[in-house]
Amino acid sequence: MTTTDHTDERPRLMLTIQEAADQLAISRTLCYQLIKAGSLGTVRIGRLNRVPADELEDFVARLRRGEPAFGA
């Protein structure tokens, strides 16, 4: 009998701050600044701070509409 590797290929729903920064092609420091300014939302899971993957899409969509990254 042959076994196959059923690696889960689904995209991650939550990202670390570093992973979010990597996805946006920005520094981790800038990512923290966006979070502090309220421009990029996060959720707390216990002591962990995570960025929902759909938050990145929303952030980029706002930028594409011409909204400033750090608010007005």
pLDDT of 69 strictly over 80: yes
- Look at residue 5 and tell me if it is in a domain: no
* pLDDT tens digits, one per residue of 11-44: 899 999 999 999 999 999 999 999 999 999 999 9
Residue 58 lies in a domain: yes
> Where in the sequence is the domain holding 22, given as residue range(s)?
14-64
Asked whether residue 31 is assigned to any structural domain, the reply reads: yes
Question: What is the Cβ-side half-sphere exposure of residue 67, based on CA atoms within 13 angstroms?
Answer: 12
- Residue 9 confidence class, pLDDT cut points 50, 70, 90: confident
How many structural domains compose the chain? 1
Contact partners, residue 56, CB within 8 Å, separation at least 6? 15, 20, 23, 24, 40
Distance CA 43, CA 53 (A): 11
Does 23 fall in a domain? yes
8 domain-assigned? no
pTM of structure: 0.82
Helix 17-24 / helix 28-36 crossing angle, nearest 10 deg:
100
